[in-house]
Structure 1
Amino acid sequence: MNLKRRDLLKIVAAGGIASAGTRVFAQSEGPLRIGVLCDFSSVASTSGGKGSVAAVELAVEDFGGQALGRQIEIVSADHQGKAEIATGIAREWMDTKGVEAFFDLQISSCALAVMALAANKNKIAVVSNAHSSQITGKSCNPTSFHWTYDTYGLSTVQPEVFVKMGKKRWFLLNPDYAFGISLENDFKKSLEGRGATVTGSLRVPLGSPDFSTAVLAAANSGADVVQVGLFGTDLLNFIKTARQFGLDSVVTLATTSMSIVDVQVLGLESMHGLYANEVFYWDQNDKTRDWSKRYMKKMGSPPNGERACGYSAVMHYLKAVAQAGVVDATQVAKAMRSIPVNDMMSNNLTVREDGMCVRDFHLFKVKAPEASKYDFDMYDYVSTVAGPSTVRSPSESECALIKS
């Protein structure tokens, strides 16, 4: 069959029209959906749930509600602290709702499972509410990020401060799963490197009904400091028991996973004198106060660091989508690593190749009731450890992205 030149031009033109039509279709796609997966109903719900969703809603609102001409929609669900439920929801969202990115990902086992699934499907996963070192360690991947801190960071702040005070004997109490095991191991290395001694350690299962054994073990350990890596209702129940037994009168109680949310639940009368690590405190400066007031209008109380980091993570993701010009996770991930992190809690922060957003870490002490001057005035500032000191050096990293 012989084609005349004008017929060939018609075919080429038709192809051009088809291509243009494809581009128009891409630009007029349905909503850009992002997923918030966290605990709404079990042990960690006090630091996740509706509060995590509220922070993400503020980020979408501040970004203008659209990205690449598409409305941004948030879907959320309760993974109940179980990895198999988390991955089941994530898989369904990707298959039926077209979710492009996952946020919060509370509880390390859930985070690690969703990270692996998302990477396999070329989707973004940004962890802001789980803290295992595996996230940016041996389980790192090109499309996953860690937006708050890990167990290595948690293990630097308190030893740095307390060992210098002469408190060199430590008892370690942590939850018996991925996060707690990682935290215990990192604390042991951190303390050993500072010339301190671990007098004993204990791991307890999530949702433990009784903490009297743990309190007695800590009291009899001869420690100067009891590091408490419990969180949520487990942390609150431990503190109640510790107060009843008078443990706080003989040792320093240093919590590594307590937040202002927990202080609100038990009140200053029960929590005063405890130490807490935070990357964010609502009353730090004008920017944090202004943003937190908006959050409080939604939730009635200030955000914890994990929820603030969830806001930061979504804002940075959307900026990266805008810069990349596509939602393809590979290209968005490159943009997320290339642009600085700036928001109400972040000032030109960097994102490492392993996906870690490098933040300063602060140590606070819970105020006595009489020292609190206004609503939610709960912390006294103690010290700060600069961001680079709160992350593993490249030579120590188990992440293949750094070693390659």
Structure 2
Amino acid sequence: MFIRNFALASTLLVSTALTTSAWAQSAEKAGGISNGTVKIGVLTDLSGPAASSNGMGSVVAAQMAAEDAADGLKVEVVSADHQGKPDAGMAIAGRWFDVDGVDAVADMQGSPIGFAVQNLSKQKSKIMLLSGSTSSDFSGKACSPLSVQWTVDTYGLAQGAAKAISAAGGKKWYFLTVDQAYGHALTRDTIEQVKKNGGEVLGNSVFPSRNSDFSSVLLRAQSTKADVIAIASASGDTETAMKQAEEFGLNSSAKIVPLQSTVQDMKGIGVKTAQGAYEVAPFYWDRNDETRAWAKRFFEKAKIMPSGFHAGVYSSVVHYLKAVKATGTDDAGTVMKQMESQKVNDFFAKDGYIRADRKMIHDMYLLQVKKPGEPTGEWDLYNVLQTLPGESLARPLAESECPLVQK
């Protein structure tokens, strides 16, 4: 592990012997693997507020995917810390593409980072597997032919949250929005769904990332007598806002709703504060035997239970490597066509598929944080209330702003 150009990088080399001459012949026909190695870069937050929900867990997930799906390929995984800075992310990705021979970038924690790197990946003909970039614009007006939004987007989060909270009696909403691309997209998409469900929006306070004092915005929200206070942020900011909301006694008068959160966030907040909170999630480790088995393997390596982002990194990298294997090349256009042609079937998604708007469609889950006394272990935090069909949470293609969608 070493530091270079803003990057904290670690490398895993997974190599197995080529097992069939048929594969070698197909690889030669298709142009083969550049430099004989499929190289995957995990660009993530290794030292900031998303280090638990993404971070080294995303690197571990990609390494596990390489171990499981190499199948005759020589695969190398490198990782880097973008430090929450789009320019740092650009610098890292530029070196990966131009010097280090990286073929695909995974995770891309943070929509500002994702947007900064996306044009570069398109210019350099590199695939982006977006797990931690959640703005719905990645499958909307900013869609790219070589990017796939794999795990979750703000439109799906908004759809699920608005329906669940409205059904539970929440009608008057106030938003706390982090001043970043995904925060604004999450609030925008949720407001749209709140209005569709007959709700009313009483206001929106925008706050800076890594905010430590929410007193003024919480008091403003409280003064409106909103019965829902929706937090459009992630990780550290969500945790701080929810803890301070309890200190101000807002939990007794309003539903505090984290619009984007993870199992790590809720563990940090604690069930006493977070009890009853709804979450729309792409994955929960304790949902069935298959998710528990993979989570156990992950925990042994990462020492935490996996978030949906971690699971999405694994799923996307496995699908990518299967496509490389099937086509015998790491040419981005060829591989992407193969990825589109094959369904995704693993512990993360059943019959998932990549739409024309570059969104991977898969089921999501409505979770609710357990009450104190209910958990049987430190990571036993949620009840799974409902399976939400993937198409029901996706923006209809007829409404899509993605230029790749034919109407």
With normalisation by structure 1, the TM-score equals 0.90
Q: From the two aligned structures, give the one with the greater helix fraction.
A: 1
- Does residue 61 (structure 1) correspond to residue 64 (structure 2)? The answer is no
Match of 1:31 in 2: 37
Equivalent residue runs for 1:15-164 within 5 Å: 26=32, 29-64=35-70, 66-67=72-73, 71-164=74-167
* Structure 1 unmatched ranges of 5 or more: 1-18
Secondary structure in 1 matching 2:242: helix
Q: Which letter maps to 2:189?
A: D
Q: Which letter maps to 1:131?
A: T
Q: Which letter maps to 1:398?
A: E
Match of 2:5 in 1: none
Q: Could you tell me whether the CA contact under 8 Å between 2:33 and 2:330 is conserved in 1?
A: no
Secondary structure in 1 matching 2:360: coil
Match of 2:263 in 1: 260
* Structure 2 unmatched ranges of 5 or more: 1-24
Q: Deviations over 1:90-140 (max 9, x none)?
A: 010111110000000011011112121101111100100111011111111
Q: Which letter maps to 1:127?
A: L
Equivalent residue runs for 1:181-260 within 5 Å: 181-260=184-263
Match of 2:379 in 1: 376
Shift of 1:170: 0.9
> Higher mean Cα deviation, 286-295 or 134-143?
134-143
Secondary structure in 1 matching 2:206: strand
With normalisation by structure 2, the TM-score equals 0.90
- Does residue 293 (structure 1) correspond to residue 319 (structure 2)? The answer is no
Secondary structure in 2 matching 1:401: coil
Q: Deviations over 1:131-175 (max 9, x none)?
A: 101111111111110001211111101211221233211111121
CA distance in 2, matches of 1:311, 1:141: 21
Change (3 A) 1:263 1:299: same
Shift of 1:204: 1.0
Shift of 1:24: 12
- Does residue 366 (structure 1) correspond to residue 369 (structure 2)? The answer is yes
Match of 1:332 in 2: 335
Q: Deviations over 1:52-89 (max 9, x none)?
A: 1011111111114642xxx1000100001111111110
- Over aligned residues, Cα RMSD in angstroms? 2.0
Change (3 A) 1:271 1:166: closer
Change (3 A) 1:257 1:293: same
CA distance in 1, matches of 2:189, 2:377: 37
Match of 1:341 in 2: 344
Match of 1:13 in 2: none
CA distance in 2, matches of 1:169, 1:373: 35
Secondary structure in 2 matching 1:47: coil
CA distance in 2, matches of 1:85, 1:27: 28
Secondary structure in 1 matching 2:121: helix
- Does residue 351 (structure 1) correspond to residue 354 (structure 2)? The answer is yes
Shift of 1:25: 10
Shift of 1:241: 0.8
